[in-house]
Amino acid sequence: MKRLRKSWQKARAFLHRRVTGPEARPRDRGVALLVVLAWLAMMIALVGELAYDGAVASAQSANARDEIRAHYLARSAVNLSRLLIKIQQRFIEPTMTQTQKMISQMMGSSKDKDQSSSMGSSFGFSIRVTDYASLLMGLFGGSKEDATSLGDLVGIDVSGIKGIGVNGGDLQAEITAEDGKIDVNCGGGFSVEQPKQRTVFRLLMGLSASTRYDRLFSESDANGQFYTRLDVARAIIDWADADEQMFSPEGTSGSEDYRYDSQKDRYKAHDNRYDTVEELKLVRGVTEGYLEAFQPYLTVYPSDPNQACRVNLGAISNKVGGDCAPILMGVLRAAGMTDPAKGTLSDPALLDDARIYPIASILCERASAAGFDNMDTITNALNKPETLVRSDDPRYRLRLHPLQQAVARIVAAPGGSG
Residues 385, 391 contacting (CB under 8 angstroms): no
Q: Looking at the structure, do residues 269 and 342 belong to the same domain, yes or no?
A: yes
Q: Looking at the structure, do residues 156 and 184 belong to the same domain, yes or no?
A: no
Domain closes at, from 141, 159, 175: 175
Q: Would residue 72 count as lying in a domain?
A: yes
Q: Span 345-350, mean pLDDT?
A: 74
The boundaries of the domain holding residue 197 are 178-412
Q: Looking at the structure, do residues 139 and 193 belong to the same domain, yes or no?
A: no
Q: For 187-222, how does the pLDDT look when each residue is reduced to its tens digit (9 = 90+)? A: 888 888 888 888 899 999 999 988 889 998 888 777
Q: What is the CATH number of the domain that holds 216?
A: 1.10.40.60
d(CA 249, CA 255): 14
Tell which residue, 418, 384, 414, 388, has the closest CA to residue 400: 384
| Number of domains comprising the chain | 2
Q: Would residue 417 count as lying in a domain?
A: no
Q: Looking at the structure, do residues 192 and 291 belong to the same domain, yes or no?
A: yes
Residue 220's alpha-carbon distances to 58, 287, 288, in angstroms, are 53, 9, 12
Q: Looking at the structure, do residues 187 and 146 belong to the same domain, yes or no?
A: no
Burial of 277 from C-beta contacts in 10 A (0-12 / 13-18 / 19+): middle
Residues 385, 356 contacting (CB under 8 angstroms): no
Q: Looking at the structure, do residues 331 and 224 belong to the same domain, yes or no?
A: yes
Let me know the angle formed at the C-alpha of 394 by 389 and 397, rounded to the nearest 5 degrees: 70
Q: Looking at the structure, do residues 312 and 407 belong to the same domain, yes or no?
A: yes
Q: Would residue 326 count as lying in a domain?
A: yes
Q: For 312-327, how does the pLDDT look when each residue is reduced to its tens digit (9 = 90+)? A: 877 777 765 567 888 8
Q: Looking at the structure, do residues 169 and 266 belong to the same domain, yes or no?
A: no
Q: Would residue 116 count as lying in a domain?
A: no
Q: Looking at the structure, do residues 171 and 260 belong to the same domain, yes or no?
A: no
Domain closes at, from 141, 175, 209: 175
Average pLDDT for the chain: 77
Q: Looking at the structure, do residues 158 and 216 belong to the same domain, yes or no?
A: no
Q: Would residue 253 count as lying in a domain?
A: yes
**Reported confidence tier of residue 279, pLDDT bands at 50, 70, 90:** very high
**Reported confidence tier of residue 110, pLDDT bands at 50, 70, 90:** very low
Q: Looking at the structure, do residues 311 and 222 belong to the same domain, yes or no?
A: yes
Q: Would residue 1 count as lying in a domain?
A: no
Residues 268, 154 contacting (CB under 8 angstroms): no
Let me know the angle formed at the C-alpha of 47 by 43 and 48, rounded to the nearest 5 degrees: 115
Q: What is the pLDDT of residue 128?
A: 72
Q: Would residue 15 count as lying in a domain?
A: no
Distance of CA 391 to the CA centre of its chain: 35
| Statement: residue 7 has pLDDT above 70 | no
Q: Looking at the structure, do residues 50 and 199 belong to the same domain, yes or no?
A: no
**3-class SS of residue 337:** strand
d(CA 64, CA 62): 5
| Statement: residue 113 has pLDDT above 60 | no
Q: What is the pLDDT of residue 406?
A: 56
Q: Would residue 288 count as lying in a domain?
A: yes
